[in-house]
Amino acid sequence: MADTEVPAGFGSRLHSAASTYAALCAGIDPHPRLLESWGLPVSVDGLTTFTMRCVEAFAGHVAAVKPQVAFYEAYGAAGFAVLEKAFAELADSPTQVIADAKRGDIGSTMAAYAAAWLADSSPLAADAVTVSPYLGFGSLAPAVEMAQQTGRGLFVLAATSNPDGPSVQRAEGAGGRRTDQLMVDQAAEINKAYPACQGPVGVVLGATVTDPPEIAELNAAVLLPGVGAQGATLADVSSLTKNKRVLSLPSVSRSLLHHGPDVADLRKAVKTVVGE
- Among 37, 72, 78, 22, smallest CA distance to 51 is for 72
215-250: buried (b, 16+ CB within 10 Å) or exposed (e) per residue?
Answer: beebbbbbbbbbbbebebebebbeebbeeeeebbbb
Cβ–Cβ < 8 Å for 253, 229: yes
d(CA 136, CA 119) in angstroms, rounded, equals: 23
Cβ–Cβ < 8 Å for 102, 134: no
d(CA 217, CA 130) in angstroms, rounded, equals: 20
Vertex 55: Cα angle to 50 and 57 (nearest 5): 95
d(CA 105, CA 32) in angstroms, rounded, equals: 29
- Among 203, 239, 208, smallest CA distance to 221 is for 203
Vertex 236: Cα angle to 156 and 232 (nearest 5): 80
85, 102, 244, 268: the catalytic one is 102
d(CA 121, CA 190) in angstroms, rounded, equals: 25
Vertex 97: Cα angle to 197 and 142 (nearest 5): 75
- Among 188, 182, 197, smallest CA distance to 136 is for 182
Is 66 designated active site? no
Give the active site residues: 102
